[in-house]
Structures are given as C-alpha cells and as structure tokens.
Amino acid sequence: MDLELNTEEFIIEFRHVCKAFMNQRETIQVLSDIHAKVEAGSIVTIIGPSGSGKSTILSLCNLLISPNEGDILIHGKEVREWDIQELRRQVGIAFQSGPMINGTALENLTLPARLMGKTLEHPKKYMDYVGLPEELLSREARELSGGQRQRLSLARTLVNGPSILLLDEVTSALDSNSTFAVEELILQINRDQNTTILWVTHDLAQAERVGDQTWLIMDGRLIESAPTKLFFSEPREKLTRQFLDLKREKV
C-alpha cells in the first residue's frame, strides 16, 4: 500500500533540535536549537566550518542518529514515528566517497531493492539516467572511477524513489569536470522529480550555483538562513559576512 504523504508546503521541519554526543570525559554539544523549514522541491545548500554540525543535520533526517531534544518532521510526521524502512525509502542519503559494497556495479545498484526483499527491474534505466553505460553493470565497483562511483551511488539512492535526497560533500573528491557533471545530474533529478535536496558542501561557489536557500551552520547553531542569491550578496548577520569574507580571501 502506498504511503499517503503530507502535501504541506514544508516537507522538512526542524523544531528546536539539539544533539549531543558523549565520550568518556565530557558531553559534546553538536547542534543547539536548530529551528528551520524546508520547502518541498527546493535545494538547500548547507555551509559552515568543519565540525560545525552540518553532516549531523543530514544524519538526523533519516534516523542514522536521533535528536536529544526537539522534533524533526518529515512530510509532517516526526521522524521517530516513522517505520524506519519507509523513512529511509523516502529520505535517501549519498556520501562523499560514494561507498560501495564488494561486488559488481549491478550488485551495488540493486542493494536497496534487495534490502526491501524486492527485485530491481530494468537496472539499465537507472544507469541511463545517471549517464553510465549498461556494460559497467558487470564490472567490479572498485574498478570504477571516482566520478562513476559517485554516479552509481546516486543511481542506487534513486532506486527507492526518495522524495528527499541528502547529499554530504558528494563532489569534494572529484575533479572539476566530474563535479560539474554530477551537479547537473542532481539538478536534473530535482527538476524531473521535484526531489527536495539538502546539500552539505564546503564549496561556496557550488552552494551559490545550485542552492535555492542557503544555511550557515557554526558551532552547532543556525546563524543565517536566506534565499541563496541574497545570502551571498546581502548577508544579514555579522558572522555570515565574516565567514564569507574569510573563505573568499583563501580562494
């Protein structure tokens, strides 16, 4: 039976979300009072210093980890109330390294279907969609180039037909040609399927190119959230201006 999804304007909502991790000596506060909304079909680029909590935000959205305080709503339903398999079918995630299991490209591509106890029909159409030739399906995944692995990782994420796609530095290990090709692929996914995308990137130029909205996360706090063009041209917050100036000086 198909899930009846909430069709409200905001597909993701963070309501005063906090996350802390504990080690043997102390409690480390990673996110503090994150309060934000994401419009359906939009691309939100998330920037900030290393260790600021950007990847933690993504991990909370499909329950790789749980918040300590606050609520995260996906399609109007709090994440901890979802069936975990259904949540992860709706909310796909792709990582920087495009991690692969041992085996062929086909075995990697069909993994999400197998985990659901299903058979993936027409794997070629997923390869076609991400611009990979069908003959790569029989090749060992470890033999693929970095760009090919990243495309295969995206194809694998699309097998479940997610309405939300979480991207964690997915182009940071690629050369410029592969980066632009993967960017265009992701923008095509957004256009064709109205997929909502949260995209963590360290590349300010990329954030400016692809984002509809941009968030700045620093020390676990959401410093500024604004339409991307305004965010980069007329930042409101002093910390945002300082961060952008510092990053631009290093370019």
* Residue 7: per-residue pLDDT: 47
> pLDDT tens digits for 3-18?
444 446 899 999 999 9
| Domains recognised in the chain with CATH numbers | 10-250 (3.40.50.300)
Identify whether the C-beta of residue 167 lies closer than 8 Å to the C-beta of residue 155: no
Q: With contact defined as beta carbons under 8 Å apart, do 139 and 105 qualify? A: yes
Q: What confidence tens digit (pLDDT) does each residue in 91-141 have?
A: 999 887 778 999 999 999 999 888 888 889 889 999 998 889 999 999 999
The pLDDT value recorded for residue 216 is 98
Strand arrangement of the beta sheet that strand 10-22 belongs to: 27-39, 10-22, 69-74, 77-78
Residues (pLDDT < 50) of the chain are 1-7
- For the chain, the first-to-last Cα distance in angstroms comes to 51
3-state secondary structure of 52: coil
Q: Which amino acid is at 123?
A: P
| Nearest Cα to Cα of residue 78 among 94, 93, 63 | 63
DSSP string computed for 152-192: HHHHHHHTT--SEEEEESTTTTS-HHHHHHHHHHHHHHHHH
Partners of 164 in beta bridges: 91, 196
Predicted confidence at residue 40, as pLDDT, reads: 96
Which DSSP symbol is given to 116?
Answer: T
How far apart (Å, rounded) are the C-alpha atoms in residues 143 and 136? Answer: 10
What's the sign of the alpha-carbon dihedral 192, 196, 198, 203?
A: positive
8 A C-beta contact, residue 72 and residue 17: yes
